[in-house]
Chains A and B, each alone.
Chain A
Amino acid sequence: MSSPWAVQPGIQPAAPYTYPQTLSTAYTPITIRQGFGQAYQPQSQYPYSAPANPPPPSAPAMAPPAEQQQKFDWPDSVRNYVQRTFQKSNLDTSISRQEMEAKLKETIRSSQEAGTMYTLNWDEMPLPQQMIREERQRALMVSMASLKTSGPEPPVIALSSSKKRKSSDFSEPEPTNGSTVPWRSNSKAASLGDRISKPANSPMDAPLPAKSKFQKHTEKRQRRGDGYRSSYRSPSPQPASGPIVGCNQELEKNYLRLTAPPKPEAVRPEPVLHRTLDLLKKKWRKDGNYVYICDQFKSLRQDLTVQHIRNEFTVSVYEIHARIALEKGDLGEYNQCQTQLRALYKAGIKGNSTEFKAYRILYFIHTANRTALNDAIADLTPAEKEELPIKHALNVRSALALENYHKFFQYYLDVPNMGAYLMDMFVKRERLAALAKMCKAFKPELRLRYITEELAFESDAEAAQFIIDYDQDLLQEREDHIVFLTGKAGRRFEDAKSEAFRRVDLKGQI
Chain B
Amino acid sequence: MDGLIHEFRLAYAGMKGDQLAETLRPDTQLYANKLRAFWGRGDFHSANADLEFLFKHDQSRVRLASRDETEGWIAIYFSYWKAVGEILAAEGLLNGSRSSWVKVYVAWKEFTLLVIRGYTNHGFENWTIPCLYVAGKYLRLFAIRADAERSSSNNDAAMTSFGDDFDPTAEANKLLHDCTNHLTKIFQICLTDRAPMEASRKWGVYYAINLLFKTYFKLNSESLAKPVLHAVSAGRTDMPSIDKFPKSQQVTFKYYEGVLSFLEENYVEAEKHLTLAWLMCHKDSHRNLELILTYLIPCHLLTTHTLPSAQLLEPFPQLQRLFWPLAQAIKKADLRAFDLALRDGEGEFIKRRIYLTLERGRDIVLRNLLRKVFIDAGFEEPKGDAPPPRRTRIPVADFTAAIKLSQGEDIDTDEVECLMANLIYKACCSPRSHIIPRL
Contacts and interface: CB of A to CB of B under 8 A. Distances in A.
Interface of A: 1-3, 5-6, 11-12, 15, 17-19, 22, 213, 217, 240-243, 257-262, 298, 301-302, 305-306, 308, 310, 336, 339-340, 342-343, 346-347, 370-371, 373-375, 377-378, 398, 401-407, 436-438, 440-443, 445-447, 450, 454
Shortest beta-carbon contacts, A-B, top 10: A1-B40, A343-B168, A441-B421, A406-B418, A258-B162, A6-B46, A441-B424, A437-B425, A3-B50, A406-B415
Contacts of A217: 156
A340 B166 CA distance: 7
B353 A305 contact: no
B162 A5 contact: no
A454 B1 CA distance: 79
B10 interface: no
B46 A1 contact: yes
Interface in B29-46: 38-46
Interface string B41-73: 111111111101100110000000000000000
A437 B356 contact: no
15 contacts: A1-B46, A15-B53, A15-B56, A217-B156, A240-B159, A258-B163, A305-B166, A340-B165, A340-B168, A371-B222, A377-B355, A398-B359, A401-B359, A443-B431, A450-B438
B156 A243 contact: yes
B168 A18 contact: no
B435 A442 contact: yes
Contact of A5 (B41, B50, B220): B50
A378 B39 contact: no
Interface in B351-379: 351, 353, 355-356, 359-360, 362-363
A370 B356 contact: yes
Nearest to B425: A437
B181 interface: no
Nearest to B38: A1
Contacts of B439: 445, 447
B108 interface: no
A301 B163 CA distance: 10
Nearest to A343: B168
A86 to B, nearest CB: 33
Contact of A19 (B48, B417, B425): B48
Contact of A454 (B38, B360, B418): B418
A313 to B, nearest CB: 14
Contacts of A374: 350, 353, 355-356
Contact of A405 (B418, B424, B438): B418
Contact of A243 (B41, B45, B159, B437): B159
B415 to A, nearest CB: 4
Nearest to B362: A402
B265 A1 contact: no
A5 B38 CA distance: 15
B385 interface: no
Contact of A370 (B40, B52, B265, B418): B265
A402 to B, nearest CB: 6
Contacts of B312: none
B263 interface: yes
Contact of B424 (A242, A339, A440, A445): A440
A19 B355 contact: no
Contacts of B422: 403-404, 437
Contacts of A19: 44-45, 48, 78
Given A15-B56, A17-B45, A261 B414 contact: no
A11 B53 contact: yes
B170 to A, nearest CB: 10
B197 interface: no
A402 B53 contact: no
A401 B46 contact: no
Contacts of A243: 156, 159
B414 A406 contact: yes
Nearest to A378: B350
Interface in B401-425: 414-415, 417-422, 424-425
A305 B163 contact: yes
A343 B166 contact: yes
Contacts of A240: 158-159
Contact of A18 (B48, B156, B169, B437): B48
Contacts, number: 156
A373 B415 contact: no
B362 to A, nearest CB: 6
A292 B362 CA distance: 49
B1 A1 contact: yes
A301 B50 contact: no
A440 B431 contact: yes
Interface in B177-208: none
B2 interface: yes
B431 A1 contact: no
Contacts of A371: 220, 222, 263, 353
Contact of A437 (B75, B78, B162, B421): B421
Given A22-B75, A343-B168, 17 more contacts: A1-B38, A3-B53, A6-B50, A15-B49, A18-B52, A213-B154, A258-B162, A259-B162, A260-B162, A308-B159, A370-B265, A373-B356, A375-B220, A404-B415, A440-B424, A445-B439, A454-B414
A346 B168 contact: yes
Contacts of A339: 165
A347 B205 CA distance: 40
Given A19-B44, A374-B355, A401-B360, A261 B164 contact: no
B425 A440 contact: yes
Contacts of B169: 343
Nearest to B160: A240
A253 to B, nearest CB: 13
Nearest to B418: A406
A222 to B, nearest CB: 14
Contact of B431 (A2, A6, A441): A441
A5 B53 contact: yes
B178 to A, nearest CB: 18
Contacts of A261: 159, 162
Nearest to B432: A443
B53 to A, nearest CB: 5
Contacts of B222: 371
A405 B356 CA distance: 17
Nearest to A342: B168
A442 B359 contact: no
A333 to B, nearest CB: 11
A375 B351 CA distance: 8
Most A CB atoms within 10 A — which of B49, B52, B56?
B49
B424 to A, nearest CB: 4
B221 to A, nearest CB: 9
Nearest to B350: A378
Contacts of B438: 442, 446, 450
A310 to B, nearest CB: 7
Contacts of A343: 166, 168-169
A443 B360 CA distance: 26
Nearest to B360: A401
A447 B438 CA distance: 9
A370 B222 CA distance: 12
A306 B159 contact: yes
B95 to A, nearest CB: 15
B415 A242 contact: no
Nearest to A12: B49
A12 B353 CA distance: 61
A2 B40 CA distance: 7
Contacts of A260: 162
A404 B419 CA distance: 6
A55 to B, nearest CB: 31
Nearest to B165: A340
A88 B48 CA distance: 57
A370 B259 CA distance: 13
Given A1-B1, A22-B75, A402-B360, A17 B421 contact: no
A308 B156 contact: yes
A295 to B, nearest CB: 12
Nearest to A368: B265
